[in-house]
Structure 1
Amino acid sequence: MNVKRWIARREPNWKRLDELLTRIEKRGLRSLSTEEIKALASLYRSISADLARARTHQTLVGHTIVQDLQRLTSRGYSQVYQGSRKQEWKSAIDFYKWGLPEVIQQTIAYTAIATGLFLLGGLIAWWFSWRDPQFLALVVPDHLIRTVRDEGKLWMGSILGSEPTAASQIMTNNLGVTFKAVAGGMTIGVFTMFILFMNGLLIGGVGTLVAQNNLAFPFWAFVFPHGSLELPAIFFSGSAGLLIARGILLPGQYRRIDAIKVYGLKAAQLMFGVIPLLIVAGVIEGFFSPSPIVPDPLKYLVGIGLFIALVRYCSRRRSTQSA
């Protein structure tokens, strides 16, 4: 190994990397152009290889060169990897701050259809349950009917004493429902619509059951706090499933494979919003909603407040300054 020739050939790259890193350390990553950022990554990999070679031939290269390269690669690692992680966090924050509300607004028609299917199921259950008591047995589980009709009480008390377990099970169950609704898009939306309709049918049947037995007020007091987030999350997941179905059935100006990618991306973005909603809703349903300590009127107020906050969040628009 001709050390002098090797150093003379590689030294310009070392100086170039040092120059780029100094600029970043003084003025931030935005001070570099796109080409300079690409060059930074390439130089970092190249000089990491130089360091490995210098260590192998340390007796020839000298301890000073090895130390200089070690410092250079350490600075490069900090900017290339830690800087990219900071950028990823910034991108995630920007998405939840502005991107998600934009996607929700762009796909509002699909969310409205999903909501309509759910409400249709609820109205049908309400209509037939009042006219035919036997209809309830078709849509509401027997143990709920026995608890409400025969024992004259609600079933939420079973959560008390096992709140962490209950919250975990609730989250898992809700996530299962929403992911099925999204996956249902692959059945050209048929399964998605079925899930939305059946969930509406169940809620409508249960709502009618508690109303018939004078338990509507405490029941809806239980539902409002977590339902204000949980139900919109289900509607968003239904919207995601319908978007996938749209890509399959009605590609429009796109090729079908491209339409699936475009609408599938929007569906995935919606699901990034659904998951946090369900986690928060599961905690509320496990700990707050069934609590006998919290007065029912306060539960209604919390539910209404959370829903208003969600609507305001979904209505956010990126300002000129933010863009």
Structure 2
Amino acid sequence: MNIQRWIARRQPSWQELDTLLKKAEKQGLKTLKADEIRQLSSLYRSVSGDLARAKTNQVGELVVRDLHSLTTRGYSQIYQGSRRQEWRAIREFYLWGFPAAVQQAGGYIAFATALFVLAGLIGWWLSWRDPNFLRLIVPGHLIEQVRDRGELWMGSIVGMEPFASSSIMINNIQVSLAAVAGGMTAGLLTLYSMLLNGLMIGTIGALVTQNNLAFPFWAFVFPHGALELPAIFLAGGAGFLLARAIVFPGQYRRSDALKLYGTRAAQLVFGLVPMLVIAGIIEGFFSPNPYVPNVVKYLAGLVLFVSLIAYLSRKRL
């Protein structure tokens, strides 16, 4: 390769990239016109190739250093702008996209919620009619602790809050993702997850009520449950969206239906995971705190739930 001829031929491109970069660095990338941005990207790729070629052919330390400087500046402008756009997209999703996705999937979420509530009522009713039913659902040591010692089990969290909080987060996310993935079994595992979780909460609710511990128990549940339970309902709705694509694809091919409803389900998952993280922090640090009055816990749960409903009801004007 004739190095001098190659440098002379490529130098105008390097100078043009340098000019565009100076403008972007001084006035901001937004000030560039669409054609200039396209040219900037094209020149950046071209100069990156020149840098690799210059290193391979040992064209000189000065040229390599200048090309390296150009590519570094180009990378900073192009990918910094890309990252800013990504952050704007994330912000836009959580401001408007997630509430819109919840509203669009409202029927599926309502169905999941109804299954959970129905199972909870059945668990409550059976627990009052047949004491032996409790032992089928609730571990024996918890029944013994509540009935024989008159104690709730949440006090074990106190003193190990960070570990408990992270464990709770991981468990809740796993349960929710399992409910979502259950949609791929035509919704059977999602159905099972909603019914089982509802049955558990109804049965445990009956147990603590029978032993006069309902008030402190629900005081513990309310703060984190205001986010955790709706997140489970959203996970159930996402699972039933996937089941809809498999069982009732309608006018779409099943693969196309999975893409359509799978995208909507993914939007619900992206939104519910932060809800579960926040709920896990509350459940680990706030809900079991013996120094926080129960009335304050009820109030905190109510405020969180009302705020969540208001947020999910948002519509872009």
TM-score by length of 1: 0.91
Question: What letter matches 2:102 in structure 1?
Answer: I
Matched, 1:96 2:110: no
1:154 is aligned with what amino acid? L
Instruction: Find 1:106's aligned residue among 98, 104, 107.
Output: 104
1:73-222 mapped onto 2 (5 Å cutoff): 73-222=71-220
Moved more, 33-42 or 226-235: 33-42
Partner of 1:18: 18
Q: Residue type of the partner of 1:50?
A: D
| Per-residue Cα deviation, 1:172-214 (whole angstroms, up to 9, x for no partner) | 2211211110110011001101110110011001111111111
Distance (whole Å) between structure 1 residues aligned to residue 216 and residue 60 of structure 2: 80
User: Are 2:9 and 1:9 equivalent residues in the alignment?
Assistant: yes
Alignment-derived partner of residue 281 in structure 1? 279
After superposition, the Cα gap between the structure-2 partners of 1:35 and 1:264, relative to the gap in structure 1 and judged at 3 Å, is farther
1:267 matched to 2:265: yes
What amino acid is the match of 1:179? L
**Structure 1's 204 and 24: CA in aligned 2 closer, same or farther, altered over 3 A?**
same
Where does residue 247 of structure 1 map in the other structure? 245
8 Å CA contact 1:3, 1:61 repeated in 2: no
State how many pairs are aligned: 317
Pair 1:272–1:204, CA change in 2 (3 A):
same
Deviation at 1:18, TM superposition (A): 3.1
State how far apart, in whole Å, the 2-side matches of 1:66 and 1:134 are. 80
CA 1:180/1:56 → structure 2, altered by over 3 Å: closer, same or farther? closer
223-232 or 157-166, larger mean C-alpha shift: 157-166
- Which residue of the partner structure matches residue 231 of structure 1? 229
Native 8 Å contact 1:174 1:278 kept in 2: yes
Within 2, Cα distance between the matches of 1:35 and 1:164?
52
| C-alpha distance in 2 between matches for 1:205 and 1:42 | 64
Amino acid at match of 2:44: Y
Letter matched to residue 286 of structure 2: F
- 1:252 deviates by 2.1
For residues 199 and 61 of structure 2, the distance between their equivalents in structure 1, rounded to whole angstroms, comes to: 78
Q: CA deviation at 1:298?
A: 0.2
Moved more, 31-40 or 81-90: 31-40
CA distance in 1, matches of 2:51, 2:16: 16
The match for 2:311 is 313
- Pairwise CA distance, 1:258: 1.0
User: Which amino acid in the other structure matches residue 145 of structure 2?
Assistant: T
Change (3 A) 1:37 1:240: farther
Of 304-313 and 67-76, deviating more is 67-76
Task: Supply the distance in 2 between the matched residues of 1:147 and 1:112 (Cα, whole angstroms).
Answer: 35
State the distance in 1 between where 2:4 and 2:159 align.
Answer: 75
**Post-superposition offset of 1:23:** 4.3
Q: Distance in 2 between matches of 1:206 and 1:62?
A: 74
How do 1:48-63 and structure 2 match up within 5 A? 48-55=48-55, 63=62
CA–CA distance in structure 2, aligned partners of residues 34 and 137 of structure 1: 68
Q: CA deviation at 1:31?
A: 4.5
The CA deviation at 1:242 is: 0.6
Q: In 2 relative to 1, CA 27–102 (structure 1 residues): closer, same or farther, beyond 3 Å?
A: farther
Q: Partners in 1 of 2:259 and 2:301 — Cα distance?
A: 36
1:43 correspondence with 2:43: yes
Aligned partner letter, 1:43: L
Alignment CA distance shift 1:56-1:192 (3 Å): closer
> How far apart, in 1, do the equivalents of 2:40 and 2:164 lie?
50
TM-score between both structures, scaled by the size of structure 2: 0.92
